[in-house]
Each structure stands twice: as structure tokens, then as C-alpha cells.
Structure 1
Amino acid sequence: MLNRTDLRGRVPSAAELRATLPRAEIDVDAALHQVRPVVDAVRERGVDAVLEYTERFDRVRPDTVRVPAAELDRALSELDGGVRAALEESIVRARKVHADQRRADVTTTVVDGGTVTERWVPMERVGLYAPGGLAVYPSSVVMNVVPAQAAGVGSLVLCSPPQAEFGGRPHPTILAAAALLGVDEVWAVGGAQAVALLAYGGTDTDGAPLEPVDLVTGPGNIYLTAAKRMLRGVIGIDSEAGPTEIAILADETADPVHVAADLISQAEHDTLAASVLVTTSAAFADRVDAEVERRAAATKHSERVTQALSGKQSGIVLVSTVDDGLKVVDAYAAEHLEIQTDRAREVAARVRNAGAVFVGPYAPVSLGDYCAGSNHVLPTGGFARHSSGLSVQSFLRGIHVVDYSEAALREVADKVVALANAEDLPAHGEAVTARFGGKTA
């Protein structure tokens, strides 16, 4: 079922690997042409445009954009007890991990009388997005809200697409997750129009203000990603998320059943989801392939899974050694990377590029999706080479506070003047000498 790439005997350069390894092809620039009219309409006509596009794309027209508080309470009261307990456990574990990411202000004494303090200031208002396409993602509500709350963000609004079967409200499980987390502002809007409304704000159908935000986080489809790209600068964004992906580095010590199950679990998300196995053993690859075929035929979303696994974005890569495998996975820079090898912890410690690393046979990606305590909003498409997943830091801004005395400035004045003149910016130097009667000493 899975396509194969044989790199035994020679591992290409990182640049060659990035060009040849399996990966989904998405064209965000092409989607921009479709998204631009939506964004422009929302900027010009506000909620009227939002509701028109919502009716066209989601086949439902909510009576208001903001979900009434009573509906959040009702969704929580009607939530299945087992699901509620699971969400509560997920929240507890995520809060434990993200609480340790908080950063303290630091003051550095550069010279006597001269200090620089780095203050960490949370965003004032943030928009969080929970998708509502092929699946329902209350876990994404947890992963977005928890770090924002830990950072101290003052105002949160959660957006999720309205569902016709639920009277134009987001899925009740999404609403219940918001209520569990204490988020009382939820907008029934999805896709590009959600990002545009978050960026520009508007007035709801009942006359209530819908205030714009400073930052938008959370994954979505290509149209939401295109809107993020278009509006970056009007708002901050976490990343341009593409199709989800898993890479597994495994040797002959791994269990083919575990590996096959994990590849399928990622393929279950979307027909463009990428599932890649990098292994030192052709015989192991054969066993995984056979197990994948057997399990894929029996799984609930068999058609979706089979399409994802047989697509060019998925495959098996054969390498000679685990060292060669590390070069491959570092070049691939997967959103999720599992290490299922001998001495897995030691191998995992050598990984440089991944959104998140899952070590050994008992840390599957699905654990991280829900209850590991880690965050599952992670960089895709190779962005893990230069970007991190969502964290408390995503919602903080570092501000340098410079505090120098007269003596401390006088001590370095001639250096400032010298550098200002070297850059042909003499007024910069004069801004210093003006404080000392036109002299530096």
C-alpha cells in the first residue's frame, strides 16, 4: 500500500531530501485568490458578509455570531460523562505542563547605573480556532486555551464553524469544552470569514460588539491558512498549518502492529494527511505494510485512510542505519515524530527538527493529541526546522526596558557617537551629546 523510497547505501543532502521525501502538496497562494474576496467583504460589510459566506459554505445561517452563554452551559450539562472526565484529565495535564513554561522578568545590570529588564507581557485579546470539518476537535480547544490562560491573556474568543444539525451553533462538544475551560465568548463562524472577523471585528445581529483580536491561533483548512497569510500584520498568527503528518523512525526491534496502528491513526485525519515510516529493515517494512493493509480495511474511516496512505505524501523510506534515519527525519522535520528503535531515548535526544517527539513503544502520537500534557498544535510542512509548537510563549511579548543613569550614559557616550557617525546618522550621536552640553566627556 505504501510507496517506497530506498536510500540504503547513500543518504542525499538535506536539500535533496526536502525535495524528494513524501509530503502533501498544498498551494496557499492559489487559495489566496479565493479567500481575498471573502476577507475584503468582511472588512467592508462586517457580520452581514460573514453570515452570507457562512450560509454558502456551511449551509446554515446563525441568528447571532456569538453563542449565548446559556447554550454553553447546556452543552456542558448534557456532555457524556466519560467524555467530560477525559477532557478534565486532558486539561489538568496540559495545565501542569504549560504552567512550567511561564517566563520570569529578568533584569541585567550592564554597568553600574545601567540596566536592561526583559518584561514578558501577555497579549490583550486572542482569537482561538477549533476546526469543524471531517471531525470534531474539543482537544484543540484545550490545546489553544490552556497556554493562553497560563500566559495571562486577558480576553479570549473561541471560533468554530456552525453546524446545521445543531441549529447553527458549533458542535456541542466544542461548546462544552469551552465551558469547562471558563471561556464564555464563542463565535459560530469558521474558515476565512472567521479569521477576517477576528482581525477586523464587527457588530453582531443583536447590536453587540464583536471586538477584534491581536493574535489568531489554531489549525484549519487551506482557506483558513490563506486568510491567516493575507491578514498577517493586521493580526499576529501562530503558523500556517498544513495537512497533519507523522514520521516514525523504527528498526527491527519495533512492533509492526504498533507502527501500523500509528500510521493509520494519523491518516484518519484527512486524505492529505502524511504517514511516513523510516526504517533500517526491509523485512520490518514488509510486516508493517501487511499490517497496515489489514487494519486499514477494517477501520471506520477506511476510504479516507486508504487514500491518505496511498498518496504521494505517505510512504516508507529505507535507510542503512539509524544514524542515516536521523538525517532523514531531521530533513523531513515532521509535525509528529515517533522514535521506535533500540535505545529510543538516546536516539530521540539526537533529534533536532520535529514539532514533538514521542519516545518508545508506549508514547504514541494519539497520547499527545489528548492526554500527554504536551501541546498538539504543531508546525507542519517542514516548518519544524525553524518554528515551535503552540506554547505559553506564543501568547507573550518580550519588552526590553532600558534604565541608565547620567553617569552610565556619559561612560559610553563616545562609543554611541562613534557608531552613529560610522552609520552616517550624526543626529543619533547628537541626541546623546545634547545631554552633556554638546560634549561626550
Structure 2
Amino acid sequence: MASYTEIKTDSQRSLAHSNRDAWQQRSRRKISPNTNPPDFFVKLLEPADIRLNGDRPWDIRVHNPKLYKRVLRHGSIGFGEAYMEGWWDCDRLDEMFTRLLGAGISQNVSGVMRLKMALGALNYRLFNFQSIKRAFHVGEHHYDIGNDLYRRMLDPLMNYSCGYWAEADSLDDAQIAKLDLACRKLKLEPGMKLLDIGCGWGAMALHAARHYGVEVTGVTVSREQKKWADELTKDLPVDIELMDYRSLTGQYDRIVSIGMFEHVGVKNYRTYFRKAADLLTDDGLFLLHTIGDERRSHAPEPFIHKYIFPNGKIPSRREINDTSFGLLRLEDWHNFGPDYDRTLMAWANNAQAAWPELGDRYDTRFRRMWMYYLHSCAGFFRSRKGQLWQLVFSKPDNRNEYRSLR
């Protein structure tokens, strides 16, 4: 992703964009869209009711027949990169991915792809890709690409996590409802000290300090997020630090972490929960808001890992239980995964409408990558393969009664 945004001058950027777009147009003109697809792919997609070169919104229109070999050799990352390069199109990517994931198509991969997946998982098990030295990688790669895009895609408070749509009719209302739900679950009271691990652009810190009278310390690994959060909360008792969570010290009455655990990595889960337990007062509460997966994966999804969130991995239910056990007591587990589908579609609609305003800041390849990312994630939640969990923890010796709320 960074390579698309590092072109130094306007003339260089304009030339690079025009050359790439012209190449994509020439590539499409050379290929007949009526080329018959291989029977293997036709049958592979039948359980998902997706047709190749069909006319329904979720059907795949193939512009380059090399797509089939590319997918066989490179799997999901080849499929995604081919979309970025204009080799295929689909009017409703979100619905296509919902059908693919719901039918379990990704499980029917070739032997070569199984071997590559196994090697990737082994590599992830052997090495810690979320070490302290690499902690700022995701901030630089993803969150620092430019506040201009996020400002147009997200709500005014720049929440980049799932909203709570139980009684909301808009993205703005859903995000405020999410923030307030977390504050109420934490039972915040004036004068408390709240730690926000992975504070993003400062929305939670702002809401908690302004409406609940608490002092907030927020930490982020993104310089762009820190600059925005500092300005957003400058008149409130909020301190935003550019640092990794493992460097934190002190004691806090409450801890919240929204949309950050996905970057922690399985090798660091126990370290993460131990750090939270060490930072929490004896009668404190800790709320964890994270994407979740029922099944246990051993490596990141290849496309998301390469282009969106390097080294990120979605935790499973068992991984959270096993690595927090003995350090923290689970008080409440709340799943509202379908709300992420609505959140992602709102982001996708905002991003699509914003491209003309952004000029040539992001080229066609980047735009296609970004829309592929948002719609594929929407399909992940709509198919119910993806979950969104809010968990509340306390210290094991805390004798205070906790009553959950929604």
C-alpha cells in the first residue's frame, strides 16, 4: 500500500496513474468477455450460486482468462490482486463474498495452495510478527496513509471499528451508541482513570472524558492518529501517547481496548492479558472489543495481511479463553457481529462517494483494492463467519458483583 502513496511529485504521480490506468484499459480490450470458463471453476462456484460472466449483480465478469491459472496458483491473494488489476469485475462484491464464504468455497483449494497455506501457518507459528520492534509497522502501513481518506469514510469522530446498530439508523448514531455502551459496561464514574489501549483517533477518550468525567490515557502506534486525537481532546483530561502497549506502567481503574486486539498476534495474547491484569486495579474492569472467529486459524488471511493489516490475525473464541484464563475473570461476552456488516457497507458507500474529492491522491489500483477490502469484510460478517465480541473482564479476586447490560 505504501508504494502507491510515496510518489514524490504531482507530475510523477499523475504520470504513474495515467500509465497504470491506460495499461488496464489496453488489457481489457485484448480479451473477449465471452471466453468460456473452465468447467472446474463453473462447478466450484455452483454451491454459492455464482456464475462466471453471468448478468446477476453477484456474478463474476472475467476480462482476462489468465485469472483461472492465477487463482489456482496463488489462491485468495491472486484473486484479490487480479481484481485490483482489472482482470474481473462484480457489481456487488459484498454479496459475492457472502455467497463464497457461506458455501465454504475457500476450503476447496488445490494441493499446491494447501501446501502454501501450511507453510505460511508454520512461519507464523515460528516467528513473532508482532514483536515490539515491529509494533509500529501496521501504524505506518495502514493508519498513516492519510487522514483525508479516513475523514471522508468514517463518522465525524473517526471511529474505525464496528458500530452498535441495535437502535441506530445511521453510522454516526451507531458509533456513538458503541462508545456509550462500552462506557456503561465499564461502569465509569467521575474521577476514575481510564486506559484506552489502541485509542485510534481518540473517539473513546473524548466520549469517556466528556460524558463520564474520567481521566484518560490513550496509546496508539500511529503518528497520524496521535496528531488527530491530541487536537480532538485538547480541552479535556486526556493524554495520548505514541507507544506500544507492552511499555505501559501504572494502575488504572478501568481499561478499554477497541479494535486493537486483532493486531496483537497469537504469540502475544498471553502477554497482552498479563499486561492488562497488571495495569488494572484490584476492583477494576477491562472491556475488550474485537473481531472474532469461531474456528482457529494459524496465519493471517493472505490478501488482508499483504495489503491492509500486516501481521494481523483474528482471534478465535478458544484462543481468548485459553490465554486470559487465570489472569482475568470473564464477566460478560456479547456478540453483535451482524452490526459490522452494516458498518462496513456504510464505510464503503462513504469511500465510493469520496473518490472524486480526493483527486489523484489514490489511483485506480488503490481504489479497487480498498473497495475489495471493505466489501470482502462485509461478506465475512454477513455470512456469519465473522463475529464481533465485546468482553468484560475483572480481576480473579474481585468480589464485586457484575451485572451485564445491552
Give TM class, smaller chain: 0.3 to 0.5
Greater per-residue helix proportion: 2
Higher RCO (CA < 8 A, seq sep 6+): 1
Query: Structure 1-normalised TM-score?
Result: 0.31
Query: Structure 2-normalised TM-score?
Result: 0.33
